[in-house]
A and B are shown apart, each in its own frame.
Chain A
Amino acid sequence: MSTVSDKVALKGCEFLLKESTWLDAYGPEDFNEEQLMIQSMVREFNEQEVHTRREKLEKLEEGLNEMLLEKMGELGLLGSHMPEQYGGMDLDFNTNSIIAEEMGTTGGFSVSYNAHTGIGMLPILYFGTEEQKSTYLPKLLTGEWKASYCLTEPNSGSDALAAKTKAILSEDGSHYVLNGQKMWISNAGFANIFTVFAQVDGDKFTGFILDKDMPGLTLGAEEKKLGIKASSTRQVFLENVKVPVENVLGEIGNGHLIAFNVLNTGRYKLGASCLGGYKKLVEVSAKYANERHQFKVPISSFGAIQHKLGEQTIQTYVSESAIYRVSNLINEKIKELKAAGKSNAEAKLEAAEEYALECSIIKIVGSEVLDYVVDEAVQIHGGMGYSEENPVAQAFRDARINRIFEGTNEINRMLMVNVLMKRAMKGQLDLMTPVMAIQSELMNGTSASDTDYGTYADEKEAIKGFKKCLLLVVGAAAQDVMSGKLNLKEEQEILTNLSNVITQIFMAESVLIRTEKIKERGQHKVDFEVYESAMKTYFHQSRFVIHQNAVEAVMAFANDSMVGGLLKSVAAFSKYRVKDVKTLRRTVAASVIKEEAYCL
């Protein structure tokens, strides 16, 4: 997509400070012919090879995951994101988002795929030596070898750096001896390659590449999980495993760089993958609601069911707008970095790091919208949804893990505010100027805006207010931090409130600019009114979510002299004219009921 290039792409976190326009929006309606072809190719693969084996996969039938990964390797799907020199296709980030989304319809198998292509391969690409890359990547790309990633331990999950696994250098300096225990390791049952993190000299957190055949590496039994039963999850035991020094990944003591940087992309991909899952659930829900008759009419004719179908679709449309917006931001950043002379791996790593906050948003939103949509899908199916004969029951169980792995949603919420604050402290992000502008605006009472917003003036005005609301609260909290009255890091409830406001702003703005783009370019597939209704319903909700979270945060830290003024300003900034959302939701629901699919 070529756009006028005098516009500088937003940096990470910058959406909070700058205005975005419809020219910044990107969505599935912008996919090119090649991308659509790849999308339908992945769909064909899933329909033919994966969905037909659902029951066998659920029983974790031996050899099935491996066979499917090998078939994906033959089709070139395992290396779509990898450099050509290792046999990859080096497709752009947006195209890889499309693949991630499609794979999200495959339940537990998508975990095998994501673990192999994400945390399995990326550490080697990002931090491996040239020799390690050329040894491992070509075979991982064809699927001949399968990969797993061993970070978590029985006593260290979110606190990953507290791992107890030890690595001790042998006297002759030729190898390390690893001892320890790793837990919840995806793909462990069939992996050939294990990326393991261990403490060298007790405190130098370091990555190692292990082969399955190294003596002393043994596996626990398959975990009996609530969902994603198709995915192999085991413990990995390390007992005096001798690992040659050539197998150290990255530098001694730099394991945290690997562990955390790989997660940015992983979080984004997880969100994109969830999207594929819930788009399918909207379809399944609409079809069932049309088929199922009660009181002599299809249940889709009832308002209560239309509310669910409408809301499922609205949440899907909004999050899709946010997910592909982030995809395109990363995509453009990678191009920019490559043009500036960065290597393929460096560009990908740095671009994902730049948008760490946005990646956390997508992880949270993808997993939480999935849980909402799948829960309502079960509800629409009634008793049928509670029966394991229906795939919806499986989807319900499979969905739940997404709020837990790749950094729990709680950790991601903390992280989000942490990233924002850190960048402000380091001077990478000028948070203070706009904060002070708002404070002086409040003092001087010059808030009445006479900007001519053109299309969607109400929504644009609302976004501006939402951002001010956040900056106001963040600014007040930061002052208390600086004067020593508030230890924000320890106030996780406040951090959660702030992250909720940040997320809501990003989502609302994403749906606004995408809807305007679809209008401007005439890209609507169903009546444009449906898109607009979805957007307006979301803005209506956002106003309340932002207000509630901002009020909760203020009440938690502001002292008596501040609280009144802050609450008044919060109320003034979290404004949007309320809507008749019942009618708007019905408009959205009518289109999915007619099309029997997610159709926006």
Chain B
Amino acid sequence: MNLLVCISKTPETTAKIGFTDGDSKFNEEGVQFIMNPYDEWYALVRAIELKESVGGKVVAINVGPASNDVVIRKALAIGADEAVRINAQPQSAMTTAKYIADYAKEGNFDIVFLGKETIDYNGSEVGSMLAEYLDLPFFSYASKLEMDGSKAIITRDVEGGQETAEYTGSFVLSAAKGLAEQRIPNMRGIMMAKRKPLNVIEPTITEDLSVVVKYELPEAKSGVKMLDADDMDELVRLLHEEAKVI
């Protein structure tokens, strides 16, 4: 099978979040980056497992600057056969989807994988846009994927239960927890990663339709106030005037 896995770079989970440029841009200074866990743990690993069982090739793709190569090489260390980096600063879900789609169109991929969302912007948008650009069906939030010959059996998490779908043909799939189990790259994989191809291509021209105006951090939580159990009037006043919940 010919498999494409979209991998994104996200801040490490304990990173301190701040903004610059009038709060319109994420401040990357001093932040450690990792591969988006949904892309790495589930999408990439399931693609590698499929390749291992039925043969084929796994290509990892990322949209970003050269500094992303470290994250891309981790995908190669885990087991992707080759990687592509589209040399552009990611702007929005739409441009990212368009860049990837323009590459994927030529690649004749059976399945295009990506995580259900990135853990930074939580957009969950690239998958559906990518499917639209490629004119392929989209299975979101997949927690299981099995192949029965050329037929794919996909289990999706839906509210309060599960949905199972079958499809024969190419498709885009976003991965949720359960699709695979995290793989730690082994030493041989790490040493091999350097020798695997990492092709850099220039992006196609796409006009962005929206711009981010402002980011805000959630308000800092104030401390817990302890009141005397008999002082009901004060409690009502605080709930009314400070917490504004009644």
Q: Which residue of A lies closest to B193 (CB)?
A: A37
Q: Is A34 an interface residue (CB 8 A)?
A: yes
Interface string of B163-204 (1 = CB under 8 A from A): 000000000000000000010111110110110000000000
Q: Is A190 an interface residue (CB 8 A)?
A: no
In whole angstroms, how far apart are the Cα atoms of A91 and B185 in the complex? Answer: 16
Interface size of A in residues (CB-CB distance below 8 Å)? 17
What are 19 contact pairs spanning A and B, CB under 8 A? Answer: A33-B70, A33-B73, A37-B185, A37-B190, A37-B193, A38-B187, A38-B190, A41-B77, A41-B187, A44-B184, A45-B184, A48-B184, A75-B184, A75-B187, A76-B186, A76-B188, A80-B187, A89-B187, A525-B30
Q: Which residue of A lies closest to B190 (CB)?
A: A37
Q: Which residue of A lies closest to B12 (CB)?
A: A40
In whole angstroms, how far apart are the Cα atoms of A76 and B189 in the complex? Answer: 10
In whole angstroms, how far apart are the Cα atoms of A38 and B70 in the complex? Answer: 12
- B-chain residues with CB within 8 Å of residue A37 when the two chains form the complex: 70, 73-74, 77, 185, 190, 193
Q: Is A336 an interface residue (CB 8 A)?
A: no
* Chain A nearest CB, measured from B78 CB (Å): 10
Asked if B185 and A41 sit within 8 Å, CB to CB, the answer is yes
- A-chain residues with CB within 8 Å of residue B188 when the two chains form the complex: 76, 89
In whole angstroms, how far apart are the Cα atoms of A36 and B194 in the complex? Answer: 13
Q: Which residue of B lies closest to A74 (CB)?
A: B186
Q: Which residue of B lies closest to A44 (CB)?
A: B184
Asked if B182 and A89 sit within 8 Å, CB to CB, the answer is no
* Chain B nearest CB, measured from A591 CB (Å): 12
In whole angstroms, how far apart are the Cα atoms of A36 and B33 in the complex? Answer: 13
Top 8 A-B residue pairs of the complex, sorted by shortest distance between their CB atoms: A76-B187, A75-B186, A44-B184, A76-B186, A89-B187, A37-B190, A45-B184, A41-B185
- A-chain residues with CB within 8 Å of residue B74 when the two chains form the complex: 37
* Chain A nearest CB, measured from B23 CB (Å): 22
Interface string of A58-78 (1 = CB under 8 A from B): 000000000000000011110
- B-chain residues with CB within 8 Å of residue A89 when the two chains form the complex: 187-188, 191
Interface string of B55-91 (1 = CB under 8 A from A): 0000000000000001001100100000000000000
- B-chain residues with CB within 8 Å of residue A38 when the two chains form the complex: 187, 190
Report A's interface with B, CB cutoff 8 A. Answer: 33-34, 36-38, 41, 44-45, 48, 74-77, 80, 89, 91, 525
Name A41's contact: one of B30, B70, B73, B190 (CB within 8 Å). Answer: B190
Report B's interface with A, CB cutoff 8 A. Answer: 30, 70, 73-74, 77, 182, 184-188, 190-191, 193-194
Q: Is the interface of A mostly helix, strand, loop or mixed?
A: helix
- A-chain residues with CB within 8 Å of residue B194 when the two chains form the complex: 34
- A-chain residues with CB within 8 Å of residue B184 when the two chains form the complex: 41, 44-45, 48, 75
Asked if B187 and A77 sit within 8 Å, CB to CB, the answer is yes
* Chain A nearest CB, measured from B149 CB (Å): 31
- B-chain residues with CB within 8 Å of residue A44 when the two chains form the complex: 184
* Chain A nearest CB, measured from B133 CB (Å): 33
Asked if B191 and A34 sit within 8 Å, CB to CB, the answer is yes
- A-chain residues with CB within 8 Å of residue B187 when the two chains form the complex: 38, 41, 75-77, 80, 89, 91
* Chain A nearest CB, measured from B41 CB (Å): 11
User: Given A37-B73, A37-B185, A525-B30, list of 5 further CB < 8 A pairs?
Assistant: A37-B193, A38-B190, A45-B184, A77-B187, A89-B188
In whole angstroms, how far apart are the Cα atoms of A145 and B106 in the complex? Answer: 49
* Chain B nearest CB, measured from A528 CB (Å): 14
In whole angstroms, how far apart are the Cα atoms of A41 and B186 in the complex? Answer: 8
Q: Which residue of A lies closest to B182 (CB)?
A: A48
In whole angstroms, how far apart are the Cα atoms of A91 and B188 in the complex? Answer: 11
* Chain A nearest CB, measured from B187 CB (Å): 3
In whole angstroms, how far apart are the Cα atoms of A89 and B189 in the complex? Answer: 11
In whole angstroms, how far apart are the Cα atoms of A89 and B186 in the complex? Answer: 11
In whole angstroms, how far apart are the Cα atoms of A164 and B97 in the complex? Answer: 74
- A-chain residues with CB within 8 Å of residue B190 when the two chains form the complex: 34, 37-38, 41
Q: Which residue of A lies closest to B185 (CB)?
A: A41
* Chain B nearest CB, measured from A317 CB (Å): 18
* Chain A nearest CB, measured from B223 CB (Å): 10
Interface centre among A34, A41, A45, A48 (most CB of B within 10 A): A41
* Chain B nearest CB, measured from A393 CB (Å): 24
In whole angstroms, how far apart are the Cα atoms of A546 and B149 in the complex? Answer: 76
Q: Which residue of B lies closest to A594 (CB)?
A: B16
Q: Which residue of A lies closest to B187 (CB)?
A: A76
Q: Which residue of B lies closest to A80 (CB)?
A: B187
- B-chain residues with CB within 8 Å of residue A75 when the two chains form the complex: 184, 186-187
- A-chain residues with CB within 8 Å of residue B70 when the two chains form the complex: 33, 36-37
Q: Which residue of B lies closest to A45 (CB)?
A: B184
- B-chain residues with CB within 8 Å of residue A48 when the two chains form the complex: 182, 184
In whole angstroms, how far apart are the Cα atoms of A45 and B182 in the complex? Answer: 11
In whole angstroms, how far apart are the Cα atoms of A91 and B77 in the complex? Answer: 16
Interface centre among A34, A45, A48 (most CB of B within 10 A): A34
